[in-house]
């Protein structure tokens, strides 16, 4: 988690410097205090506006009122805003202020409290009542929520002590009744709140001809995913061989999908290529017998299975590896 610590007084700046090493955070102080080994700001507001979205979490050593005013124009939505916590200058409390669940501020406050001997202040109702929120569950599963509004509605039911069932596929290992493609709800209730979480546990390995367009690659991915009734939202990473590291269409396709493009070396591929059916023609071209399958395997956790070993689409090969959600 990339962290920043912010201070606007001399005392808070000294605390920030003291905490920086422990928390492995970037430290911001005002230039007029000349605190060494920190980023010295001419203007707090301007610097914060520039850097706010460049960090996963922000730690402010100042009054919560100041923080609320300064971030009010910067925040957008709970599913994309960074974690924000506040520490008082007296070094007593660490308060989870924003993005407690999806942004990880609650967990960050707990970690800081333990490391710095501060009292964590958590105010989200699901946490203080000892119940799990839907967005917390989504975060723990490294998933994507279908709808923030639906998640809020279902969490309200949980907090209110109402019955809420969780229906999960077999690779979550919640029960042993087998895989499902749908859920039947038997209830005499007219309205039932529900929400869906898409786990990010699909790793795609891709091989393609030189010069393959972004549009062509995206179409191939969509067709391979559709074959297995898989959601694009569950793609975790896309991987390819090092010789394709500069393949513009592949780079742009990964950016369009908002996924990391992982580059696998041919030396690493050689260590596992004997596990897959390869091609001597491919070996003559690039030095290894196959691309998509070993790239998917090597990028994954290795704890799962192939849903698609090699989907062939007009000059492309696509492999889909499904990681287990829980060990």
- For the question of whether the overall pTM of this predicted structure is more than 0.95, the answer is no
Find where tokens 């910067």 sit.
74
Classify domain 3-123 at the CATH topology level.
Answer: Rossmann fold (3.40.50)
Which residue intervals of 195-263 are DSSP H helices? 214-227, 248-257
Position 180 scores a pLDDT of 45
Q: Does the structure show a pLDDT above 80 at 251?
A: yes
Higher pLDDT pick, 279 / 320: 320
What does the pLDDT look like over 263-314, one tens digit per residue? 999 999 999 999 999 889 999 989 999 999 999 999 999 999 999 999 999 9
Q: Where in the chain is the domain with CATH 3.40.50.11220?
A: 3-123
Nearest by Cα to 93 from 123, 72, 70: 123
The mean pLDDT value for 70-75 works out to 95
pLDDT of residue 30: 96
How confident is the model over 24-41, as a mean pLDDT?
A: 95
Q: Identify the pLDDT of residue 173.
A: 45
pLDDT in tens, 205-222: 999 999 999 999 999 999
Taking the domain 200-323, which CATH number applies? 3.30.420.180
Beta strands in the chain (DSSP E): 3-7, 25-30, 39-41, 57-61, 83-87, 93-98, 119-121, 143-145, 197-199, 202-208, 235-241, 260-264, 304-313, 316-323
- The helix (run of H) or strand (run of E) holding residue 282 is helix 280-286
Give the range among 34-48, 55-69, 88-102, 153-167 with minimum mean pLDDT.
Answer: 153-167
* pLDDT of res. 178: 39
- At residue 185 the predicted structure's pLDDT band, cuts being 50, 70 and 90, is low
| Distance in angstroms (rounded) separating the CA atoms of residues 4 and 327 | 32
* Residues 225, 231, 235, 241, Cα dihedral to 10°: 10
pLDDT at 177 over 50: no
Name 26's bridge partners: 4
Specify the range with the lowest mean pLDDT, choosing from 76-80, 162-166, 269-273.
162-166
Which tens digits make up the pLDDT trace of 126-142?
A: 666 677 778 777 777 77
Residue range 118-133: mean pLDDT, rounded: 80
Considering the chain, what percentage of its residues have pLDDT values greater than 90? Answer: 69
Q: Where in the chain is the domain with CATH 3.30.420.180?
A: 200-323
Give the mean pLDDT of 136-164: 79
Per cent of the chain over pLDDT 70 is: 91
| pLDDT of amino acid 168 | 56
Write out the two tokens for 262: 């992982």
């Amino acid at each position: 988690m990339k962290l920043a610590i912010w201070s606007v007084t001399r005392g808070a700046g000294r605390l920030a410097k003291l905490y920086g090493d422990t928390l492995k955070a970037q430290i911001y102080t005002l230039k007029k205090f000349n605190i060494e080994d920190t980023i010295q700001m001419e203007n707090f507001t301007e610097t914060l506006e520039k850097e706010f979205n460049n960090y996963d979490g922000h730690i402010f050593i100042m009054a919560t009122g100041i923080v609320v005013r300064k971030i009010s124009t910067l925040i957008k939505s709970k599913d994309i805003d960074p974690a924000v916590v506040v520490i008082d200058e007296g070094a007593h409390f660490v308060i989870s202020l924003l993005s407690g669940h999806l942004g990880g501020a609650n967990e960050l406050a707990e970690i800081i409290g333990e490391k710095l001997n501060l009292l964590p202040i958590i105010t989200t109702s699901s946490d203080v009542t000892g119940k799990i929120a839907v967005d917390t569950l989504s975060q723990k599963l490294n998933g994507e929520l279908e709808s923030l509004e639906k998640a809020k509605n279902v969490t309200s039911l949980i907090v209110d002590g109402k019955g809420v069932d969780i229906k999960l596929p077999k690779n979550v290992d919640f029960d042993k009744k087998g895989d499902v493609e749908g859920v039947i709800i038997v209830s005499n209730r007219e309205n039932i709140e529900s929400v869906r979480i898409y786990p990010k546990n699909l790793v795609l390995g891709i091989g393609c001809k030189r010069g393959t367009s972004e549009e062509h690659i995206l179409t191939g991915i969509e067709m391979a995913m559709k074959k297995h009734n898989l959601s694009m939202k569950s793609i975790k990473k896309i991987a390819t061989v090092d010789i394709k590291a500069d393949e513009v269409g592949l780079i742009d396709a990964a950016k369009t999908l908002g996924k990391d493009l992982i580059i696998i070396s041919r030396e690493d591929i050689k260590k596992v290529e004997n596990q897959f059916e390869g091609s001597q023609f491919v070996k003559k071209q690039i030095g290894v017998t196959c691309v998509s399958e070993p790239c998917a395997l090597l990028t994954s956790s290795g704890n799962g299975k192939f849903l698609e070993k090699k989907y062939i689409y007009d000059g492309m090969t696509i492999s889909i590896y499904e990681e287990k959600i829980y060990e």
